[in-house]
Each structure stands twice: as C-alpha cells, then as structure tokens.
Amino acid sequence: MFEEIKKSLKVSIWFMFLTFPIMVIKVNLTDKVIIWRWKNLILVGIGSFFLSFIWRYLLERKAKKAKKEEMGIGQTSIFLKIFNNPKYAKPLYIIFLLFILAFPFIFSMYQTNIMISALIYVMLGLGLNIVVGLAGLLDLGYVAFYAVGAYSYALLNYHFHINFWLALPIGGLLAAIFGIVLGFPVLRLRGDYLAIVTLGFGEIIRLILENWDEFSFGPSGISNIPRPSLFGINLGVKESTIFIYYLIVFMSIITIFVVNRLQNSRLGRAWIALREDEIACQAMGIDKTKTKLTAFALGATWAGFGGVIFAAKTTFINPASFTFLESAIILSIVVLGGMGSIQGVILAALIMILLPEYLRAFSDYRMLIFGASMVLMMVFRPEGLIPSSRRKYEYDPTKR
C-alpha cells in the first residue's frame, strides 16, 4: 500500500512539473504582465495522484484478463454474449429499429437533425469499414470521397439543375471512380505508406476545393442546395427534415445489408485474407489488384452517397467540412467499434457523434474528452466495443 502511494506521489509530482509552464503561467507581452494560476497546479497534482491509482488498477486488470485468456478460461464480455446469441439479439435489433423509426415523432427537430448526422456517420463508418476493417488498407483520406459526393451534388445542381435523386447515384459513382483513381497508384504500397498517401490525397482534394475558385467557389462554399423532393413535391423545412431522416435510415439499412452480405461473400473473404497475409492470399489465387481496387471503390461509394445526403441536409457546403479531423473521426469510429464488426461500427458512430452533441454543457472540454477517450479506449479495450466474430466452421460431435 505504501509503495503504491509513493508511486502515485511520483506521478503527481511529475505531472505538476510537466503542466507547470502551460497550465500555470500565462504571459501577456503587450501589457507586460505575468499571470500565475497556482490553483491549476494543485488541481493537476491532486487529479493525477488519484488517476494514477485507477490507471494502474485498470492496467493490472487488463494483464490478468490477458493471462486468463491465454490459459483458455477467458470469458467473453456480456456485450458479445448478447450479440452472438440470436435469442437475445433479434428482439434487441427489432426494438432498436422501432426506436429509430419512431425517433422524429418522439424527439424535437433539433434532435432529429443530430440523429441524421449520426446516421450519415454510420454510413461512412460502414463504408470505411470495408476498406480498413475488412481489407486492412489504412485509409486516412476517406473524407475526400465524402467531399466528392457532396460537391458533385452541389455543382451538378448549380450548373445543370440535376435533382437529388439523379445526383445520388452519380455522386456514388464519381466517388467510386475517385476511389479507383486513388487505388491504382497506391496498389504497391503497404501499411503506413498507404496511410500517408491517402492522407495526402484527402488534403489535395480539400486544398483544390479551397483554392480553385472558378470551379468550387473556394472557401465560401456553395449555398442554396435544394433539399430532396418527394415525387416532385417540394416539402417544407420540417417535413423535408423528417423525409431526409427516413431516407438516411433507409440508406443505412441498405448499407448494413450490403456490407453484411459482402462480408461473407467470396469477395469479402478475399478481403479478409488480404488483410491477414498478402502473400499467402496471392498464393491462394486471389487477384490482389482486383480485390484491393474493389475495396477502395466500394468503400468510396458509400462515402459518395453520404456526401450527397449531407449536402442535401445542410443545403450549404464548404471545404471546411472535409478536413483531416473528419477522416480521423470516421477512422476512430471503425476502430473503436471493432474493426470489421458491423454492430460495433454502428454503436461507435452513434456514441462518437451523439456524445459530443450532448456534452455541449462541457462544450469547451468536449474535444479534450474526445481525444482522451480515444487514447483510453485503445489502451484498455483495443479490440473495440464489439469485436467482430469470425465465422467459424466447428465440428460438433454431438450433432451427427
């Protein structure tokens, strides 16, 4: 016990030292005053003292759990038990679906709008899940395809008055083409090189949108994008929000359906094989080029759809909506949810988007909490909220 307190004291002193200049001192050079904020130092000291206990306790627990699993007596979490048992899972899904369907009638317009953006992220997350979770290609520029979708609707509408319903497939198709265009040069790259090239690609798209005024109207963006119409009838703001809500619910369900079918198809298994071991995968006769390109194209398509819906929802887009932070958020949705796991990605998208919205009370601290929780999540639960379970073919001697 005494040892533990000593350790925590050390940590506490270290953090007081570490945060000293930034948390305590504030210099105003124009008025030549130094502001000392000693209160912060005490807060950091006490906070880190207690947090270090919790930190060490949690690390120990994690190590114990890993040991147990090694010995083969690891238990699966409650989450997994529920999700893997159809007896519990089915009613849960149905309740969840009913809740989602009834949502705009229970909650206010404001809440519905937040839910729409959360569901857009569900779509984006599931799309990126194909690229990162299934095919194992680390894409840090996914937001570029989202931007392609959004801008293709906005620009096509501006120049040619193409309506939403025609723009939706065109946006998806254009994003897919961009996915293939990006995919070709990076086919030979592995892992982290791929990550940085995709990051660069995302930034290039954003910078072009920002600087090429004649094409994309620069940083001021495009406004007055029409909302979708229902069989030619133009809806009011409230009705069209509800309409977009059901549209995005419908699109999400299609996405879930498609991704789920793909996952267990020949192509999906090829992706997983590619993720696990490229060389072994080629040896099994899988066409690496084709498999990778389809992953990029299909992943990008969902981002394109998401982009078109986003543009229709906000009626205004500018390049500031498509920064690297957006890519990072989508990627963390995939990883936090559990790579390759559909339920996980949905849950993570809802948490990641809804939580900051409801944390508005702490609005100053919300990005701080967001960053910290990403780190903590990775440290204590790196497999994600709902780890994906691989389909296994087991021999059961009792069922002969």
Partner 1 sequence: MDYFFELFFSGLSKGSIYALIALGYTMVYGIIELINFAHGEIYMIGAFTALIISGILTILGFNKISILILATIGAVIYSSAYGFTVEKIAYKPLRGSSRLSPLISAIGMSIFLQNYVLLAQTPNFVSFPELIPEIKWLEPYSSFLGSTDFVIIVTTAIVLVLLTILIKFTKIGKAMRATAQNQVMAALVGVNVDKIISVTFIIGSGLAAIGGVLIGSHVGQINFYIGFIAGIKAFTAAVLGGIGSIPGAVLGGLVLGWTESFGTGYISSDYEDVFAFCLLVLILIFRPAGILGESTQQKV
The residues of the shown chain that bind partner 1, judged by CB under 8 A, are 14, 17-19, 21-23, 25-27, 29, 32-34, 40, 59, 62, 132, 138, 185-186, 188-193, 195-197, 199-201, 203-204, 207-208, 211, 277-280, 324-325, 328, 331-332, 335-336, 339, 364-365, 367-368, 370-375, 377-379, 382
Helix (H) or strand (E) holding 263: helix 237-263
Q: For partner 1, give the closer residue by CB, 246 or 381.
A: 381
* Residue 265 to residue 70: CA distance in whole angstroms: 31
Q: Which among 348, 335, 347, 339 has a CA at the least distance from the CA of 390?
A: 339
Q: For partner 1, give the closer residue by CB, 5 or 204.
A: 204
Q: For partner 1, give the closer residue by CB, 95 or 372.
A: 372
Q: For partner 1, give the closer residue by CB, 170 or 197.
A: 197
Q: For partner 1, give the closer residue by CB, 101 or 280.
A: 280
Residue 182: HSE in the Cβ half-sphere, 13 Å Cα cutoff:
34
Least spacing, CB of residue 193 vs partner 1, in Å: 6
* Residue 196 to residue 178: CA distance in whole angstroms: 17
N-to-C CA span, the chain: 56
Least spacing, CB of residue 342 vs partner 1, in Å: 18
* Residue 230 to residue 243: CA distance in whole angstroms: 8
Least spacing, CB of residue 294 vs partner 1, in Å: 21
Least spacing, CB of residue 7 vs partner 1, in Å: 13
Q: For partner 1, give the closer residue by CB, 144 or 249.
A: 144
**DSSP class per residue in 117-178:** HHHHHHHHHHHHIIIIIIT----S-THHHHHHHHHHHHHHHHHH---HHHHHHHHHHHHHHH
Least spacing, CB of residue 4 vs partner 1, in Å: 17
* Residue 348 to residue 132: CA distance in whole angstroms: 15
* Residue 138 to residue 179: CA distance in whole angstroms: 13
Q: For partner 1, give the closer residue by CB, 166 or 280.
A: 280
Least spacing, CB of residue 63 vs partner 1, in Å: 10
Least spacing, CB of residue 166 vs partner 1, in Å: 31
Do the beta carbons of residue 174 and residue 304 sit within 8 Å?
yes
Least spacing, CB of residue 37 vs partner 1, in Å: 9
Q: Which among 340, 354, 341, 348 has a CA at the least distance from the CA of 377?
A: 348
Tokens of 69: 């699993």
The residue type of 222 is I
Least spacing, CB of residue 71 vs partner 1, in Å: 18
Q: For partner 1, give the closer residue by CB, 90 or 188.
A: 188
Residues facing residue 14 across a β-bridge: none
Q: For partner 1, give the closer residue by CB, 40 or 389.
A: 40
The residue type of 305 is F
